[in-house]
A and B are shown apart, each in its own frame.
Chain A
């Protein structure tokens, strides 16, 4: 188990290092200069040069890369070019929206998908099963931003149960924050839940065809009992993989939903930073997302081992 974890950890580190190089040097070659962007059309070249020096942009790319990576290792992400505040601070602020939103959506998605998937699998071929398959097919096909706009139209503009977007901040109360995240979380969760429910159903059906289920049925368990006691645990591996992928997607991919609901999350931060050429913010957030994806994959790998003892021994 330890060797298994260690080998996964090493590949995690290598992925991060490669990613940092790609992220940094890819952004270097994108045209556009943060200082000219900030100073606009009337600034003289001397003013731009003064600002570039102030921002530390007048040194070479390699030196800045090493400084950036070195800083990150010690937890220093640098200072944002446009906002002039530490990038780490900004990321922490934005995470307070993005992370709860991702967890909220993931919670909704699994809370819907598990029972629905199990229910459909246990009634294979029935009208209920086809119904679930049809609805989830629709859920997968509908783009989440369109669904989000629909939610705003119904619940914010017509019913006025929720505001159309924005985030009051956790310091104004927990329930206020949760309320602001509800529509975005639902918009994010439904397509994910549809995918997950389908995966859950087909994984269960696969397992239900296995010999050990026939044995379980033969010793007298009902179909439902066999499903709950034996099939479910074995069907979890593909489901966990999807959940892992979905969490990374929810964290990094909420950018459009954050724009629809004007939430001050990580996605919107990156979006804004790219257009303002606040490269250090873009780079740091991208690295954080890479880290999140890699770490989630790592966690999922460990979870496999927990679910399937065979993986522990193979190492």
Chain B
């Protein structure tokens, strides 16, 4: 009878909550008031479908949103608050010279196919990601690693060219998860990891299903199965939530509907922060933007709150530099670029553009860019800058803006955590060359001391802000909707993830 109940629960997407209520009621009667009545499956909505399920083989966030902390685990991991926690590595010791780290691995861990997880797998995973023919999208995470030595089955030593303060942080990324040589090649379609959930099925275009891993080394998850459903259309997403087809939509694609969900006691709206710094990126290598006064003028032309209210329905935190406000090292530098159209006009006149100029603004598909772009263009027009809006697709944005750097202005959210280091790269699409940033970033990697690191990061934040490299708009909010009885979902998004290990239904 228990099994029968499970079946009817699984079909719930077809039948809606009345049947679910009946099924739960039947379960209650059958199990005579036991805990068996608790719902143990969940359907999570996602806007984009992952192209594959191997977090080490693609940049798509959707891959991590399905697999991170559910199927795959790394030596370290991000917690819900963004802190770096031990995962498959129990503990570690840094050599006094900072050039080698010894990791002690958790014992008794097995991959979902039954093969034990040992130091050999660590060496394999890291070497695979670093190899010349590697297609790891975040290969730079492993920069500076020169050797991975297996000491014994459960101890491994990572050798470095220079001290690397960011090593633990880097190893927590989805792109650095541990994979087994036996299954690495087929992880794209049949992921095999060490996590609390095992891959069950992927009906392409529709859903991915994970089931509880009975042999998990850590605390067993409360859910028995998790289904990720892919619904790209915002209206359809709304309908699916309303009809009860989907239990939670952690990143809900239509902020305009959130008020409606908030007013409905069946749902809870979960607002948190992400690592996405949304910026008006400026091509610093191109006239007239090579003149810092022009860039400063643009910064003062922008009214952040108006963009947040108008494009994001009030969700988002203003930023004055390329850094996440929820990070302890964050400095509020919004004062450097206050909304001041008069000052902007004066600066433009000083730079030789008293009547402004014409330029282009390329907008990729996300709402923040398309809606925010309209408002930014209007604000620029007020100070005399006539920005022609050009809507483009992601693939074209990556090719034309990002790779060929053929653009004037664009709006994009940089979702990688802790990515202020991009301002030290002169080959980056900002076309900005800053030796000071290069020195700062090199110094940052050499130190593992938190106070020292904070000091360097804050200096970098100021450097980026006072050079007006880009227009800094706002930190992207994570706005999700869930059935009000669901507990344990992440509020913030320190990395792209839907960690389901602590999620449960409250009765």
Q: Is B235 an interface residue (CB 8 A)?
A: yes
- Given A156-B243, A157-B239, decide whether A37 and B394 contact each other with a Cβ distance below 8 A: yes
Task: Report whether B51 and A40 are in contact in the complex, using a CB–CB cutoff of 8 Å.
Answer: no
Type the 1/0 row for B394-438, where 1 means its CB is closer than 8 Å to any CB of A: 111011101100000000001010000000000000000000000
- Given A41-B59, A179-B14, decide whether A164 and B204 contact each other with a Cβ distance below 8 A: no
Query: Which one of B30-38, B135-143, B349-357, B471-479 is at the interface?
Result: B135-143
Bound form: Cα–Cα A172–B138 in Å: 39
A residues in contact with B233, CB < 8 Å: 259-260, 262
User: How far is the CB of B199 from the nearest CB of chain A, in Å?
Assistant: 15
Among residues of A, the one whose C-beta sits closest to the C-beta of B428 is A41
- Given A31-B400, A94-B205, A176-B11, decide whether A43 and B244 contact each other with a Cβ distance below 8 A: no
Q: Is B232 an interface residue (CB 8 A)?
A: yes
Task: Report whether B13 and A38 are in contact in the complex, using a CB–CB cutoff of 8 Å.
Answer: no
Task: Report whether A39 and B245 are in contact in the complex, using a CB–CB cutoff of 8 Å.
Answer: no
Within 8 A of B (CB), among A166-197: 166-169, 172, 176, 179-180
Q: Is A93 an interface residue (CB 8 A)?
A: yes
Q: Of A31, A165, A268, A269, which contacts B395 at CB under 8 A?
A: A31
Type the 1/0 row for A250-273, where 1 means its CB is closer than 8 Å to any CB of B: 000000000111111100110110
Task: Report whether B395 and A84 are in contact in the complex, using a CB–CB cutoff of 8 Å.
Answer: no
Count of residues in A whose CB is under 8 Å from the partner chain: 56
Among residues of A, the one whose C-beta sits closest to the C-beta of B229 is A166
Bound form: Cα–Cα A51–B59 in Å: 13
Within 8 A of A (CB), among B100-140: 132-140
Among residues of B, the one whose C-beta sits closest to the C-beta of A160 is B16
Q: Is B335 an interface residue (CB 8 A)?
A: no
A residues in contact with B133, CB < 8 Å: 50, 54
User: How far is the CB of A165 from the nearest CB of chain B, in Å?
Assistant: 6
- Given A47-B137, A265-B205, decide whether A41 and B229 contact each other with a Cβ distance below 8 A: no
Bound form: Cα–Cα A94–B140 in Å: 37
Q: Of A32, A41, A83, A163, which contacts B13 at CB under 8 A?
A: A163
Task: Report whether B132 and A50 are in contact in the complex, using a CB–CB cutoff of 8 Å.
Answer: yes
A residues in contact with B134, CB < 8 Å: 47, 50
Bound form: Cα–Cα A84–B202 in Å: 14
Bound form: Cα–Cα A228–B236 in Å: 44
Bound form: Cα–Cα A39–B230 in Å: 21
Task: Report whether A43 and B59 are in contact in the complex, using a CB–CB cutoff of 8 Å.
Answer: yes
B residues in contact with A263, CB < 8 Å: 205-206
B residues in contact with A51, CB < 8 Å: 135
Bound form: Cα–Cα A34–B242 in Å: 35
Interface size class of B (residues with CB under 8 A): 35 or more
A residues in contact with B239, CB < 8 Å: 149, 152-153, 156-157, 164-165
Bound form: Cα–Cα A264–B204 in Å: 7
Bound form: Cα–Cα A34–B236 in Å: 27
A residues in contact with B15, CB < 8 Å: 163
Task: Report whether A33 and B240 are in contact in the complex, using a CB–CB cutoff of 8 Å.
Answer: no
Task: Report whether A33 and B395 are in contact in the complex, using a CB–CB cutoff of 8 Å.
Answer: yes
Task: Report whether A262 and B240 are in contact in the complex, using a CB–CB cutoff of 8 Å.
Answer: yes
Q: Is A82 an interface residue (CB 8 A)?
A: yes
Task: Report whether B203 and A164 are in contact in the complex, using a CB–CB cutoff of 8 Å.
Answer: no
Task: Report whether B243 and A275 are in contact in the complex, using a CB–CB cutoff of 8 Å.
Answer: no
Q: Is A7 an interface residue (CB 8 A)?
A: no
A residues in contact with B135, CB < 8 Å: 39, 47, 50-51, 54
Task: Report whether A163 and B16 are in contact in the complex, using a CB–CB cutoff of 8 Å.
Answer: yes
Q: Is A90 an interface residue (CB 8 A)?
A: yes
Task: Report whether A176 and B396 are in contact in the complex, using a CB–CB cutoff of 8 Å.
Answer: no
B residues in contact with A157, CB < 8 Å: 239, 242-243
B residues in contact with A168, CB < 8 Å: 11, 13-14
Task: Report whether B400 and A85 are in contact in the complex, using a CB–CB cutoff of 8 Å.
Answer: no
Among residues of A, the one whose C-beta sits closest to the C-beta of B237 is A262
- Given A84-B52, A262-B240, A275-B393, decide whether A36 and B137 contact each other with a Cβ distance below 8 A: no
Closest 3 CB pairs of A and B: A40-B59, A264-B205, A32-B395
Chain B interface residues (CB < 8 Å from chain A): 11, 13-18, 49, 51-52, 58-60, 132-140, 188-189, 203-207, 229-233, 235-236, 239-240, 242-245, 365, 393-396, 398-400, 402-403, 414, 416
27 inter-chain pairs at a CB distance below 8 angstroms, sorted by A residue, are A31-B395, A32-B393, A32-B396, A33-B403, A36-B399, A38-B58, A39-B58, A42-B138, A43-B139, A44-B140, A51-B135, A84-B52, A94-B205, A149-B239, A163-B13, A163-B243, A163-B245, A164-B242, A166-B207, A166-B245, A260-B235, A262-B232, A262-B236, A264-B203, A271-B232, A275-B394, A275-B395
